[in-house]
Structure 1
């Protein structure tokens, strides 16, 4: 969503207090909504709804505009999650989050980068909507339990229990082994070279034994309908895919959701985005989004922040 084309102004011609507060926190609100929904388009709709409700609030009764706006955004996102869940039930093939082109400074904020990574977004998908909201607000944005309780309409004691349960669930699914920035860069560059040359052995050298590939074509473009697991199968998948393309393929390294990824083009036209997860210096996850409806945010940066 864009802010109002002509923001309300006071008598001195400046935006009014409601507009100033919303604009000041807009990127944060988008990030909250996106982490809860995995869809930039739905996050923008939530921001539109947040803005409409915010304009009806008596600002004199608001002590903390940031917390109040996040509360509205969270409630709207939780409502939309139910609709999104029904859409996913009829989705063709695997569902992946909508990828975002992000700026280099997102990668420098390790906690933010992890929280918006494709791998973590898939972990968040395994939580209940309420667990997801509590986890994101607490672990990513550091809201206190009282503030979260107001946002999810539960008491603080219940929120603490939900947070504990969500943390344990996520911890069991986090990356297994820490990978340094240098190791990540080396593995990514080696993977890119192997894909460009079609060198099977070079691919095997950089793939974790239990690497998984998940493809999302949304029923519009061809993609693997079920995850492909194992270094041998994944290496064959990539090299066989390259030989069948019948077009000039080029890849461009970019930052997607705070981590290294490749924009894949065929004959100069954008074909998809390949994001990756790294464990112990090896590629352990490949997430290939080909659904055209999910590629609108990969050629211009989307601001995300905490």
Structure 2
């Protein structure tokens, strides 16, 4: 399934996906999609593991299969298989590079930003943006007529709510040890967003979509 997702990359640049119409009220189906975000974020992280690590982690941690039964599958001893699962677990959980208090603050601010973006609420987006906020976007994620760099709270906020449909597929994740956002339909990573947060405001964010840059990111599930 993981291999299949690599060859079924989602097209996120067509006019249907980049719908410029005002966001509609979220339905129960939308809420279910957001509730599934942890699963999609987990798929992204699993995709970065070695095959044996992935098998050991998924079978043991998600399906409670004993290590003695997993060992023949990965061609290891039960002890070595346990170490595989442990190593995978550490990578899935990640290691924050900031304090717990700072991580909590980042999460609160970025969550508010993402919620506002999903609902297309311009005022709510403006509420969490610094007046001099800067947004940078990789060429791979640029829509026609979209600037690679934009500054100022109102222009950035307008650009954010214009992509409310895209935001429905985004979810929080640990990106390079800090709170960020990943866009991963069907668990296939398309882009990631890193944020600079000062106080309760976002002062900058970068949309990373170039494959080489995505490959250099350290991703983990945000607990």
Relative contact order (C-alpha < 8 Å, sep 6+): which is higher?
2
Provide TM-score, normalisation by structure 1.
0.36
Provide TM-score, normalisation by structure 2.
0.48
